[in-house]
Amino acid sequence: MAITSRAPAPGGGVSVPPAGSSARPPDGPPGRGTAWAEGVQRLREAATTEPGRLRIIGAVLAALIVLFGTVSVWEISDRAAAADDVVGRSQPLSADAASIYRSLADADTTSSSGFLLGAQEPREVRQRYEKDISNASKLLVSAAANTGGNEDSREQIALLSEQLPRYTGLIEQARATNRQGLPLGGAYLRYANEQMTTQLLPAAQRLYESETKRLYTDHDDARSWPLASIALGLLAIAALVWAQRRNYRHTNRVLNHGLVAATAASLVVLLWLTVGHTVARSSLSEARADGQESMKVLNDARIASLQARAGENLTLIARGAVLAEDKKSDKYDVDFTNNMKQLDAGLAIALRLADDEAGRGPVGRAVDGVKQWKQRHSAAREADLKGDYEAALPQVVGDEKHKESSGAAFDTVDASLEQAVAHEQQEFTRAARDGLGALGGLVTGAAVLVVIGAAAALLGIGRRLSEYR
């Protein structure tokens, strides 16, 4: 029989395992918890002592200051980039789109003026037309290169690039036929004008509206308040003030140099952020209200004047061959009247928007020029309706005896509006650059100051911890 040895039980007896059980080694230590649970437990243990609580406060303060700085740098960088786009990209593209429209409208007006002057078109008229077409072509190439991912703009640029050579071809056919003394030249010119008014100018208008919309989007992005940065700045300063008050209550020391330095650095960033953005916002608002809005009104007025002049010229060229929708009135004379109404309305708004004498002066001269233009047009139109084409023509295009023609009045209006647009462009650029400048240095300054603030907060808490060693 096998003899089984048993370990002695306490008190000298023998331990016997319970019936039905088997002997096995005891289990190991309990399994470890998750890293998050261990971290929370350590924080709880640390919070039971003053040094532990100080370490937690220091870490929280430093993290808040760094987060404040990070968000501030991100938001201000975003707004500075938008302001830079306003100055260097979207506004120039909007201005170029307006110039494309003006160049096309002026080319159409100039071609009809040259046609009225007869087979021997004056050299200066021909050069003005060619300059308009060349300017429109160059601006289209520039717009195509800089418009980026704006699909609507790219579509309009493609349409303009396709239709412009067709228009110039029709104008050349009209000129060649006119030099031969054939009446078919007028038909070519009217067809070219129809293509301009139904294809090219509407596409140019859509391009201008698309680029202006992007300008307003960039403008709004640059002006939007950095609310997250301001909120975090206030939170960081409140936490620093609380930490200093707690320090005073525990030590009766009024100042902790590290915490005071951190508070000062955070306060400087917050004030710099608020004041800088307020100044930038004000300057950008001025650029929009006193510059962009005025330019838009003036550009519309100038376009209306160009289209009115084209309608005036085509009234003489068509000689009643093209009727308006009422089948009684001359279409081009009706177009002239409608465009002059738009011109009057635009000039009235431009005068109201002009905020200095340099802006009001050219607009006032344009208003006087429109009055003269209407008077001279009425006289020429009266002669034409009487059937005296030879008397009406010089009153429109001018000659040695008719220096004060409607064409001369139109030139005064156009030159005055061009001067007004140039002035408002300068006002816009100045104000927009001031807005961009107000944000200059803020990104770098905020980054440096928050690093100093976070380090100062840690040093201030470190001084308190050294007292426990």
The tens digit of pLDDT for each residue in 121-163 reads 778 888 989 999 999 999 999 988 888 767 888 999 999 999 9
- d(C-alpha 37, C-alpha 465), whole Å: 26
User: What separation, in Å, do the N-terminal and C-terminal C-alpha atoms of the chain show?
Assistant: 70
Task: Give the global pTM.
Answer: 0.76
Instruction: Determine the Cα–Cα distance for residues 207 and 469; give it in Å rounded to an integer.
Output: 72
What is the C-alpha to C-alpha distance for residues 330 and 320, in angstroms, rounded to an integer? 5
User: What contacts 224, CB < 8 A, 6 or more positions away?
Assistant: 79
DSSP state, residue 330:
B
What local confidence, expressed as pLDDT, does residue 3 receive? 42
Distance CA 130, CA 199 (A): 20
CB 266 within 8 A of CB 237: yes
Radius of gyration (C-alpha) of the chain in whole angstroms: 39
Residue ranges in 47-200 assigned as alpha helix (H): 50-85, 91-116, 123-146, 151-179, 184-195
Cα–Cα distance, 205 to 214 (Å, whole number):
14
Whole-number Å distance between alpha carbons of 144 and 136: 12
From first to last of the 469 residues of the chain, give the pLDDT tens digit. 344 444 444 444 444 445 444 444 444 444 455 777 776 676 666 556 777 788 888 889 999 999 999 999 999 999 999 999 888 888 888 889 999 999 998 898 888 888 887 666 778 888 989 999 999 999 999 988 888 767 888 999 999 999 999 999 999 998 888 787 777 778 888 888 889 888 999 999 899 989 889 999 999 999 999 999 999 999 999 999 999 888 888 776 667 888 999 999 999 999 999 999 999 999 998 888 878 888 889 989 988 998 898 888 888 887 767 777 777 777 888 888 999 999 999 999 999 988 888 889 999 999 999 999 999 999 988 888 888 888 888 888 876 665 678 888 998 999 999 999 999 989 898 989 998 888 888 889 999 999 999 999 989 888 877 776 5
Structure tokens belonging to residue 337: 């009247």
Residue 14 has φ and ψ, to the nearest 5°, of: -115, 130
Report the SS3 class of residue 275. helix
Q: What is the dihedral of CA 18, 20, 21, 23, to 10 degrees?
A: 90
**Cβ burial 4-41 (10 Å sphere, 16+ → b, else e):** eeeeeeeeeeeeeeeeeeeeeeeeeeeeeeeeeeeeee
Give me the amino acid identity at 430: R
Distances (CA, A) of 465 to 268, 359, 374, 462: 27, 67, 88, 5
Give the closest residue to 85 by CA, choosing from 211, 230, 226: 211
